[in-house]
Amino acid sequence: MLRRFDHAFAFALCVVAAILLLLVLQGCGAPKSAALGPGSRVVALGDSLTYGTGAAPETSYPDVLATMTQWTIVNAGIPGDQAQQGCARLAPLVEEHQPQLILVFLGGNDFLRRGSIQAMTDGLTRCAETARAAQVPMVLFAVPRFELAGFADSPVFANLAKALNVGFLSPKLGTLLGNDAMKSDAVHLNAEGYRALAANVAAELRRLGYLRP
């Protein structure tokens, strides 16, 4: 009886060890997301910072990012949009362009106009719901708020991305807005600033696994 128990216990240990080994092997070196190849379709949803206000259209961050990645990126930035307005536009954009990735850079105008955080998060949640319904991955960008020490990313975006189970990145906009050489005015970048913004986004997308090293 004891011998039978020992054999059963040993067998159980082997099964557990095999499962643990399989989980480790599956996790080792696996990218967080599937890398997108040249020609992949991407929708960049946003406001004036996506549109490229303050510089020529070809220096907007989506245009520069398209050159860096060889992706086909739709610049869906409309100056003045708040989160609810921008996310209301996403469904028809997805239907029209059938993207493989959605980048969402909204919230700056909600802060500037002192809108409610709840309204902003409700809008961004709608974006995530649209992306999920279309089975398209979405990455939410952090947006900075002005504080006594300067611009700093609001934690709202990281927390919301975690709650919605979508990708998250910081484009380090606050650092760029703190550098006069990168700005066209108090809240917009110049051509050099947008190029730096695109480089920051590319580095973060590489970290997330959407862009090959």
For the domain that residue 181 is a member of, what is the CATH number?
A: 3.40.50.1110
Same domain membership, residue 15 and residue 101: no
Q: How would DSSP label each residue in 60-92?
A: SHHHHHHHHH--EEEEEE-TT--HHHHHHTHHH
What pLDDT was estimated at residue 32?
A: 56
Q: Which positions of the chain have pLDDT values less than 70?
A: 1-32, 147-149
Same domain membership, residue 93 and residue 67: yes
Same domain membership, residue 9 and residue 73: no
What pLDDT was estimated at residue 91?
A: 98
Task: Give yes or no for a contact between 94 and 136, defined as CB atoms under 8 angstroms apart.
Answer: yes
What pLDDT was estimated at residue 17?
A: 42
Same domain membership, residue 93 and residue 53: yes
Task: Give yes or no for a contact between 144 and 121, defined as CB atoms under 8 angstroms apart.
Answer: no
Residue at 57 is within a domain: yes
What is the count of structural domains for the chain?
2
What pLDDT was estimated at residue 118?
A: 97
Residue at 176 is within a domain: yes
Residue at 213 is within a domain: no
> Domain limits at 90?
41-208
Residue at 119 is within a domain: yes
Same domain membership, residue 164 and residue 89: yes
Share of the chain above pLDDT 90, in %: 79
Same domain membership, residue 89 and residue 17: no
Q: In residues, how long is the chain?
A: 213
**140 phi/psi in degrees, rounded to 5:** -95, 130
What pLDDT was estimated at residue 148?
A: 58
Residue at 49 is within a domain: yes
Tens digit of each residue's pLDDT (9 = 90 or more) over 5-39: 444 444 444 433 443 333 333 333 333 578 999 99
What pLDDT was estimated at residue 203?
A: 98
